[in-house]
Amino acid sequence: MSGWRIEARDPSDPAAVAAVAAYSAELDSLLGASSPTISDPRLDDYRAPGGTFLLVVSDDGAVLGCAGLRTIQTDAYGDVAEIKRMWVSPLLRGQGAGRALLERLHEETRHLGLGSVVLDSKRELHDARRLYLAAGYAEVGRYNDNADATVWMRLDLGVRRPTYAAVLLVDAEGRVLLQHRDEHAPRAPLQWGMVGGAVEAGESPEQAAYRELLEETGLAPASGELALWRSEAFAWSDGSMADYHLYVAPTAATDADVVLGEGLAIVFVTPDEIQALPLTESGEHFLTAFLGSPAYRALLG
């Protein structure tokens, strides 16, 4: 099996149509003839600004999975994101694709400005239910009128807009620790960006900064060593927004001290090299500001 990636496609794209057909065919084989609700004609539901459609695609172009996300209104929970048509090919099962696809859907939910995800399914689909339960979903009462469903589930993401904590470590030569994102990154795959990630429910941005740094690099500065440099709402070119909290610190660590926990590489990069890298939108925005700031000059001693 070659490598795979998750990417957004228009729901009318031939590859998306083929994925939904494969999904429906597998349901037919498991449950008998699928209901008409499998072929939802409202394709605009899965387009910006209220939704998205994702495909899992192998490096050689084979379609190995799909999932749709749309905004709906419910009596019990208000506006929520609903997952539809989630499917991973048997060829890819057991390789983490289902969980990665689900995490990408959660990321897209946050970028829609929503804090809750719902889905309906059939109780007979045991593998799917195990995936959702392992990700923290809980069974809830019926939230829609889908006569074909026998189980309904919901996950509270805890925030209505994504909040990220990022860490900029600077070594004695003025190099900044950056991450080369892999092909499974929910945004900007294969580009370079800052070390860090989402602030989890019940966690402060500072706590998230230390946790993310340890998880991604194995580096564990003492409490108080990371200093808050900037907190800012950032808007991507697609109009979605997130709150960023950036922490900075000098470091004696080297590339050899980094234990890679996420991405393709995490290394120290010179300012000149940074300008030549394919940077994420947020990385370009914040790194440009940081490298021209008094805070960066102060870290150089």
Q: Is the pLDDT of residue 2 over 90?
A: no
**Around Cβ 118, how many Cβ atoms within 10 Å?**
20
CATH assignment at residue 120: 3.40.630.30
Report the pLDDT averaged over residues 273-278: 96
Band the pLDDT of 214: cuts 50, 70, 90.
very high
* Domain match, 118 and 232 both: no
Q: Which of 32-41, 108-117, 197-206, 254-263 is most confident?
A: 254-263
* Domain match, 129 and 182 both: no
* Domain match, 18 and 93 both: yes
**Which is more confident, 236 or 65?**
65
CA-based nearest residue to 188, from 74, 107, 82: 107
Q: Is the pLDDT of residue 132 over 90?
A: yes
* Domain match, 137 and 33 both: yes
Whether the full predicted model's pTM is greater than 0.75, yes or no, is no
Question: How many structural domains compose the chain?
Answer: 2
**pLDDT averaged over the chain?**
90
> Which tokens is 259 given?
């234990």
Q: Which domain holds residue 32?
A: 4-156
* Domain match, 25 and 150 both: yes
Report the pLDDT averaged over residues 193-212: 92
pLDDT tens-digit profile of 254-270? 999 999 999 999 999 99
> Position of tokens 């892999």?
182
pLDDT tens-digit profile of 52-107? 999 999 988 899 999 999 999 999 888 999 999 999 998 888 888 999 999 999 98
DSSP character string of 127-177: HHHHHHHHTT-EEE---S--TT-SEEEEEE-S-SS-EEEEEEEE-TTS-EE
* Domain match, 225 and 117 both: no
Q: Is the pLDDT of residue 35 over 60?
A: no
Report the pLDDT averaged over residues 157-167: 82
**Which is more confident, 130 or 238?**
130
Preceding omega of 162 cis (within 30 degrees of 0): no
CATH assignment at residue 201: 3.90.79.10
Q: Is the pLDDT of residue 240 over 90?
A: no
Q: Is the pLDDT of residue 38 over 50?
A: no
Band the pLDDT of 48: cuts 50, 70, 90.
confident
- Which of 156, 190, 211 is the C-terminal boundary of a domain? 156
Cα separation, 148 vs 264, in Å, equals 42
- Which of 156, 189, 223 is the C-terminal boundary of a domain? 156
* Domain match, 144 and 178 both: no
* Domain match, 8 and 151 both: yes
